[in-house]
């Protein structure tokens, strides 16, 4: 039996919540969040449905969900999921957008799927 580890931390300075999931076999049924989710698949292969579009997520993939994007996923290769993400409340994202662009607006990401990236080294220290 695989041991699941779920770690959650909140950074009061940045106003960000961070999750680390290790050894997850759970299927996540269709759901949504009231905040942005920026995630990184460290290990595993998942079938994702987001906004009625289907994707295959692999190790090294990044995903971004807008607030209220309905999504569901499940493993498709029998391996466990190792996943890290940060959750950004809309009011915090608004301030980050204002700081970066000089304009207060909430970005709307058109696709939850990002190309595979090599973030292994920075992500290993994401949650202590």
pLDDT value at residue 127? 40
Per-residue pLDDT band at 124 (split at 50, 70, 90): very low
Give percent of the chain with pLDDT exceeding 90: 79
Identify the CA nearest to 119 among candidates 76, 73, 84: 84
Query: For 74-105, how does the pLDDT look when each residue is reduced to its tens digit (9 = 90+)?
Result: 999 888 999 999 999 999 999 999 999 999 99
Spatial separation of the C-alpha atoms in residues 104 and 97, rounded to whole Å: 6
Average pLDDT over residues 16-38: 96
Instruction: Enter the pTM of the model.
Output: 0.85
Spatial separation of the C-alpha atoms in residues 13 and 111, rounded to whole Å: 29
Contact criterion met (CB below 8 Å) for 46 and 75: yes
pLDDT value at residue 116? 59
Q: 3-state DSSP call for residue 17?
A: strand
Identify the CA nearest to 69 among candidates 115, 100, 111: 111
pLDDT value at residue 117? 55
Query: For 35-67, how does the pLDDT look when each residue is reduced to its tens digit (9 = 90+)?
Result: 999 999 999 999 999 999 999 999 999 999 999
DSSP secondary structure letters along 20-66:
EEEEE---EEEE--SSEEEEEEEE--EEEEETTEEEEE-TT-EEEE-
Burial (CB < 10 A; 0-12, 13-18, 19+), residue 128, is exposed
């Amino acid at each position: 039996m695989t041991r699941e580890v779920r770690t959650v931390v909140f950074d009061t300075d940045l106003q960000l919540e961070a999750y680390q999931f290790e050894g997850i076999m759970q299927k996540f049924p269709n759901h949504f969040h009231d905040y942005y989710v920026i995630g990184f698949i460290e290990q595993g292969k998942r079938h994702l449905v987001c906004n009625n579009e289907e994707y295959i997520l692999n190790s090294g993939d990044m995903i971004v969900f807008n607030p209220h994007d309905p999504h569901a996923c499940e493993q498709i290769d029998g391996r466990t999921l190792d996943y890290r993400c940060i959750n950004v409340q809309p009011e915090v994202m608004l301030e980050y957008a204002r700081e970066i662009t000089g304009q207060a607006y909430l970005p709307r990401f058109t696709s939850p799927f990002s190309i595979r990236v090599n973030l292994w080294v920075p992500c290993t220290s994401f949650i202590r």
